[in-house]
Amino acid sequence: MEFYLKISEKDNNEVLIEHSNSWIDRQYYTLSAEEAMDAIIPNDFANIETGILPPVVKYLSPSGRNIILERPPQVVTLKYHGVLKDKIDKETTLQQFDIALPWTIYGITLNDNYQPLDVYVYATPKPIGSTNALLYLLPITNYELDGKFCAPLNFADEAKTIGEAINLAYSAVWSSSFNLDITEVIEECFDAWKPENIFNGRGDRDVMKSLKISNFYKRWEEFSLEEVARFTDWLPARMAHDNTTKVKHLLQLMSENEAQLVDPMHLYNRLRTRISVVGKQIVDIK
């Protein structure tokens, strides 16, 4: 998506905000200096509340905005619509699959409202013990080859602490309704036959000749938690140039996020909210 946001100070100390994206033409509005200060995202996280942190938090950045969470093997219920998101309606069947996960790693970035900005999800065959540990992809939809989870993360509840935000991010991933908008990870796993166990199925069943995602999820259900925990041939994630991702690459990504003081889209949404409060209007630039 093309996104443009420019904030500049005028001679009379007002602040001019210009904005456009792929579906909205160039717009602008002005704020007084005081209004602009009220709308700026705070960068002081020194007093951030951690709350009771869930197990196992492997990393918490100095600002509290970036977290690495590790979860042991467990069974989750994956909810799935077998169509594109814009084709989902009340007649669309919501399928559910109980699938066993190996050890999983979650890279979580929070905004200043303690809500997840980005969530990265990885598989590992064992607990991570160093920054050189490799990270792998789960064969699920709505998920990119660098490990970024792309399904909409809707948060009905507001988190008041980092601990609450971590639990919110984790539950948001597995309570999402998956769909067919992004399928490249499953397709690449199928092409590479990784993990081979799932694609081969059990016993003397025929090998999966072509990929149908709902059938693949059904096949995944055949395997117990103990069996999946022993799988070692997951498809490597692709964040680094050598097509492998290690924990240190995830930490590097989070370090870059730590240096990003303002998220433009989040700032713009806050400014729009502020505009509605002071009764100003957004005007199209002709």
Say if residue 60 is in the same domain as residue 202: yes
Q: Look at residue 1 in the predicted model and tell me its pLDDT.
A: 45
User: Cα separation of 76 and 84, whole Å?
Assistant: 22
Same domain, 11 and 60: no
Percentage of the chain modeled with pLDDT above 90: 43
DSSP string, 38-56: HHSPP---TT----SPPS-
Query: 59 and 28 share a domain?
Result: no
Q: Is the pLDDT of residue 276 over 80?
A: no
Most confident of 43-57, 105-119, 167-181: 167-181
| Residues pairing with 77 in the sheet | 98
Q: What is the pLDDT of residues 139-167, one digit of tens each?
A: 999 999 999 998 656 555 677 888 988 99
Q: In the prediction, which pLDDT does 283 show? A: 46
Q: Which two tokens stand for residue 54?
A: 């869930």
Could you tell me if 14 and 71 lie in one domain?
no
* 82 and 181 both lie in a single domain: yes
Identify whether the C-beta of residue 285 lies closer than 8 Å to the C-beta of residue 18.
yes
Position 281 scores a pLDDT of 53
Predicted confidence at residue 18, as pLDDT, reads 79
Determine the pLDDT at residue 118: 87
What pLDDT is attached to residue 194?
93
Q: Is 245 exposed, middle or buried (0-12, 13-18, 19+ CB in 10 A)?
A: buried
Give yes or no: residues 34 and 148 share one domain: no
- pTM, two decimal places: 0.75
pLDDT grade for 235, boundaries at 50, 70 and 90: very high
Quickly state the pLDDT bin for 272 (edges 50, 70, 90). low
Q: Give the integer Cα–Cα distance in Å for 75 and 224.
A: 9
Whether residue 199 sits in one domain with residue 124: yes
One domain, residues 246 and 147 = yes
Measuring CA to CA, which residue among 77, 45, 102, 27 is closest to residue 178?
77
Q: Is the pLDDT reported for residue 285 higher than 50?
A: no
Which range of residues forms the domain containing residue 64? 45-261
Would strands 177-178 and 74-80 be described as parallel, antiparallel, or unpaired? parallel
pLDDT at position 261: 45
Same domain, 115 and 210: yes
Tell me the mean pLDDT in the region 30-39: 68
pLDDT: is 219 or 112 the higher one? 219
How far, in Å, CA of 217 to CA of 140, rounded? 9
Residues 149 and 285 in one domain: no
Mean pLDDT over residues 18-40, rounded?
70
The values of phi and psi at residue 191, to 5°, are: -60, -40
Whether the predicted pLDDT of 87 surpasses 50: yes
State pLDDT tens for residues 91-133.
899 999 999 999 999 999 887 677 788 899 999 999 999 999 9
Domain shared by 72 and 203, yes or no: yes
Q: What would the DSSP string read from start to end of the chain? A: --EEEEEEE-TTS-EEEEEEETTEEEEEEEE-HHHHHHHSPP---TT----SPPS-EEEE-TTS-EEEEEE-SEEEEEEE-SS-GGG--TTS--EEEEEEE-EEEEEEEE-TTS-EEEEEEEEESS---STT-EEEE---SSB-TTSBB-S----SSPP-SHHHHHHHHHHHHHTSEE-SS--HHHHHHHHHT-SHHHHH-STTPPP--S--HHHHHHHHHTS-HHHHHT---PEEP--STTS-EEHHHHHHHHHHHHH----HHHHHHHHHHHHHHHT---EE--
Question: CB 84: neighbour CB atoms within 10 A?
Answer: 10
Determine the residue type at 186: I
Task: Verify that 23 and 53 share a domain, yes or no.
Answer: no
Question: Domain tally for the chain?
Answer: 2
Residue 75's CB is within 10 A of a number of other CB atoms, namely 12
Distance CA(225)–CA(202), nearest Å, equals 14
Q: What mean pLDDT, rounded, does the chain reach?
A: 81
pLDDT at 132: 93
